[in-house]
Amino acid sequence: MKVAVLLLCGLAFIAASPTVTRFRQFQEHYGKRYANTAEEKYRESVFQQNQQFIADHNAKFENGEVTYTLAMNQFGDMTTEEINSAMNGYLTPSSRTRRVVKQLGSSSDLPDQVDWRPKGAVTAVKDQKQCGSCWAFSTTGSLEGQHFLSTGKLVSLSEQNLMDCSGKYGEMGCLGGLMDNAFKYIEENGGIDTEASYPYEAKDDTCRYNPDNSGATVSGFMDVKRNDEADLQKAVANVGPISVAIDASRPTFHFYHGGTYYDPSCSSVLLDHGVLAVGYGSDDNNGGGDYWLVKNSWNTTWGNSGYIHMSRNRDNNCGIASQASYPTV
């Protein structure tokens, strides 16, 4: 069986006044509450460290040393380890049999730029909250796209349905899962409920799938050729939004704000987060170069309104082409 990736934003501050610090603004903006004064002081120290990290990085951007900017967001009072524990969750499969995508033509036939959003194949950015359910959001994202391209109707599908009902397929709810396993569940279950009928709770719950509320079905799923950005480009251009897994463990990713993201420390093997490739293009500004247009599930407060430009054709940075797949409908 084919394996899928398991997987489991910026805030602009005004100048701080003598009576209102940036940390207080951060607390108020995101509704942060702490158990006691000691916890609050600790979180303020973490916030200040993250703020300095962001400022140091953006100074490099101004000097032309990097191609993307960072900004404060909802993760400002969390350490790198805490963010990775709360937001990511990749379950390494015991075995992986690849189903290679069918031949989709030569790369020379592909458009220079693709964006499935204005074509109507992408739902609004969602928020997994502090739950390692990114695999479920990547799954619904690719199926929402395929269902739209098949029927002409864009239907938001239920991540909670996947979290609650796919345990026997190896999924672990907030502790992580695999996109391909989720596709298999939907295929054998005969469908997945709509978001409206089975809303997201950001916690594991009992299975309440109702076939009367099914919003889409799956006939199978396909894997894109592993570690091949050219084949991923063909899939994104010709198939639609594609589920991908990436290394999202770096603080540069956690606080990404704009530009083309490239981190030489990012792994193409150690993947921990499921997202959705909804297009690609090239950015001549600030030396950004080729990029993948990626939809995340960390709310619109993260990144560029919930999206990120990830570097393309730079040795599979962050592993974006390592475990890409999509459902068939």
What residues are labeled active site? 134, 273, 296
Please state, as a whole number, how many other Cβ atoms lie within 10 Å of the Cβ of residue 120: 13
Distance CA 7, CA 180 (A): 11
The answer to whether 4 and 187 have CB atoms below 8 angstroms apart is no
Cα–Cα nearest to 210, from 196, 195, 197, 223:
197
Tokens of residue 225, six digits: 């050729």
Q: Strand, coil or helix: what is 126?
A: coil
The answer to whether 86 and 93 have CB atoms below 8 angstroms apart is no
For residue 282, the Cα-to-chain-centroid distance in whole angstroms is 20
The answer to whether 134 and 273 have CB atoms below 8 angstroms apart is yes
Tokens of residue 34, six digits: 């702490």
Distance CA 259, CA 308 (A): 8
Buried b (16+ CB within 10 A) or exposed e, 64-89: eebbbbbbbbbbbbbebeebbebbbb
Long-range contacts of 53-60 (CB under 8 A, 24+ apart): 53/251, 53/255, 54/255, 57/252, 57/255
The answer to whether 327 and 305 have CB atoms below 8 angstroms apart is no
Please state, as a whole number, how many other Cβ atoms lie within 10 Å of the Cβ of residue 112: 8
Tokens of residue 128, six digits: 């997994």
